[in-house]
Structure 1
Amino acid sequence: MAGGLAALLDDIAVLAKAAAASVDDVAAAAGRASTKAAGVVIDDTAVTPRYVHGFTPDRELPIVWKIALGSLRNKILFILPAALLLSQFAEWALTPILMCGGVYLAFEGAEKVYEMFGGHGDHQPEKTAAALGPDAEKAMVKGAITTDFILSAEIMVISLNEVTDEPFVSRAIILAFVALVVTVVVYGLVGLIVKVDDVGLKLIESGPGARASLGRGLVAAMPKVLSVLSTVGIAAMLWVGGHILLVGVDELGWHGPYELVHHLEESVHDVGGVGGVLAWCVNTLCSALIGLVVGAVVVTIMHFVPKKKATAEH
């Protein structure tokens, strides 16, 4: 009996070690997946604060909460099942779909660059929030959730592409984990961003002194923080979109662009002390340039071709 109990305990120990190793593997895979989607996460964080601009401070966090719930619902109920079915029965389609997302990211980044240098975007929710009347909150939440669906789909497909070798159940757990963590991080940061102004004003109202100075500093800094965040988001979209396209065309059989970038990386990789950083910078810059070129082509098609056609008809 004692021998049987000892054997049972040994078996339990082996199973526990296997389970722990499995958890470690899932956690590592989830970390890789989340890192690859970082560019889209930055963009999501940069975009969302615009949707609460124009509302009273007491409605900002409730609106962020509604958008966060809508985002999580998008990921868990719609995108996750579709992604799992795709990876199980049509894995060949992942690269083309991911490349379509890369083109979309490149387009979004290039369009924002175009707007920065004199273009005029049509979608400006921050200017319409206060003018929509009683339905403003509902309209803004709906618009934000719609935009989030596109970004969330891209996050989930990028994440899925990193874990296609995992078993089905592990894939489901990893993607659900990524969906939850990304949503919490993005909308937690958004909640902090939209309330910093209010915190600053409270500190200013507390009277003269160090707290008031800190409050004025927070209020003055937030426009700059949002501007930097927006710029980083644009760069991240171009970089991630371009990298997706670079790797995608290589996987589909066109090896030239990827080999060229790899050759440029190798040329600086052995520089003493900073070779690894320089190689990463070269890859990132090349990916961003690819994203900018592809995005510029799509922007041209979307913005200028219809105008020329309309002019020709008149």
Structure 2
Amino acid sequence: MASGFFALLDDISALVKASAASLDDVPAQVAKTTGKVSGIVIDDTAVTPKYVVGLDPSRELAIIYQIAKKSLVNKLLLLTPAALVLGYFAPWAITPILMVGGAYLCFEGYEKVHSLFTKHPAEPVESEQVQQMTPEELEKERVAGAVRTDIILSAEIMAIAYSQVNDQPLINQVVVMAAVAVFITVAVYGFVGLLVKADDIGVHFAQGNYAPATQKLGRGIVRFMPHFLTILSYVGTAAMLWVGAEIIAHGIPFTNHLLHELEQALAHLPVVAWLAKALACAVGGLLIGFVVEQGVKLVKKVLRKS
């Protein structure tokens, strides 16, 4: 009886040691996974600032905090468990779900590009038909839009994170994916917060009792940031098209093979290879977005008739 008890203790000790040795690899796995999703992280960073443009500057950080909090909750409580469950019971479903999300990103990106090049003539409307939106309602709408876009990018991040650890013990999978979720959320939204408050920092330096060079730098930041945020909004739109199309392309063997061949053909010019792939995906994203828009219009037309 005693020997059986001590044998059980030995087994538990061995299991704990194996788990500890496995967890020693977690930092390396987190670093590797973060590198794999760096492109999507850049896209997420570029997309987010446009959701606070035009709102009360005193509410900018509060809005970013709301988006970041919901993003982290989605990653930890929704996307990570979903990836683990799907990876175990239905690994074949992960790619189609991501492709649907990619199509939505292409649709959003196409809508924004289309609005840039299309001018709609102003139509007179009756005063009672004009709906006024309060700042609070506009803020809620912006946060909701940001969270919708973020959850698709976050789903891609967590799916890639899972793909890097799907052959690891369950505890490793959970720890790595949770660590990636926290690290990326803090990094992305911390940097976004710095971006949107950079003009306030510039004003502080320009108006404070600082050296002339520091004041000049502050004025330069104030003048530069509006242009930078505008450029960043364009980058964010391009990023939605690029990432959305790439998600879909990776889910189709033929297009995935074409992208791989394109990269291989320009492997000796890494920057050119990256640009060519991004451009091809962006153009593909526009086409996908156009098709999705036509489908949405058709569905709306059928619903109105019925």
Normalising by the smaller structure, the TM-score range is: 0.7 to 0.9
Structure 2 counterpart of 1:190: 192
Separation in structure 1 between the aligned mates of residue 153 and residue 258 of structure 2, nearest angstrom: 30
The superposition leaves residues 29-53 of structure 1 with CA deviations (integer Å, 9 ceiling, x where unpaired) of: 3334334433443343234334444
Alignment of 1:263-274 (within 5 A): 263-269=261-267, 274=268
Secondary structure of the residue that 1:29 maps to in structure 2?
helix
Structure 2 counterpart of 1:229: 232
Structure 2 counterpart of 1:107: 107
Structure 2 counterpart of 1:7: none
Structure 2 CA distance for partners of 1:277 and 1:43, relative to 1, 3 Å: closer
Aligned with residue 257 of structure 2, among 223, 236, 259: 259
Secondary structure of the residue that 1:166 maps to in structure 2?
coil
Structure 1 counterpart of 2:213: 210
Alpha-carbon contact 1:30-1:174 (below 8 Å) kept: yes
Letter in 1 for 2:93: A
Structure 1 counterpart of 2:118: 118
Is the aligned partner of 1:152 residue 2:146?
Answer: no
Give the number of aligned pairs: 279
Is the aligned partner of 1:288 residue 2:282?
Answer: yes
Letter in 1 for 2:257: E
Alpha-carbon contact 2:244-2:285 (below 8 Å) kept: yes
Structure 2 CA distance for partners of 1:230 and 1:23, relative to 1, 3 Å: farther
Structure 2 counterpart of 1:93: 93
CA-CA distance at 1:192 after TM superposition: 0.6
Alignment TM-score, normalising by the size of structure 2: 0.75
Letter in 1 for 2:294: T
Mind listing any 5+ residue stretches in structure 2 that lack a counterpart? 1-12, 121-131
The superposition leaves residues 261-289 of structure 1 with CA deviations (integer Å, 9 ceiling, x where unpaired) of: 444444343xxxx4444444444443333
Separation in structure 2 between the aligned mates of residue 61 and residue 113 of structure 1, nearest angstrom: 27
Structure 2 CA distance for partners of 1:85 and 1:262, relative to 1, 3 Å: closer
Structure 2 CA distance for partners of 1:279 and 1:70, relative to 1, 3 Å: closer
CA-CA distance at 1:222 after TM superposition: 0.8
Secondary structure of the residue that 1:165 maps to in structure 2?
coil
Is the aligned partner of 1:23 residue 2:17?
Answer: no
Mind listing any 5+ residue stretches in structure 1 that lack a counterpart? 1-10, 121-129, 251-255
The superposition leaves residues 145-164 of structure 1 with CA deviations (integer Å, 9 ceiling, x where unpaired) of: 45433443333234334433
**Alignment identity in percent?**
47
Secondary structure of the residue that 2:197 maps to in structure 1?
helix
Structure 2 CA distance for partners of 1:33 and 1:119, relative to 1, 3 Å: farther
RMSD over aligned Cα, in angstroms?
Answer: 3.5
Separation in structure 1 between the aligned mates of residue 241 and residue 59 of structure 2, nearest angstrom: 33
Separation in structure 2 between the aligned mates of residue 37 and residue 78 of structure 1, nearest angstrom: 19
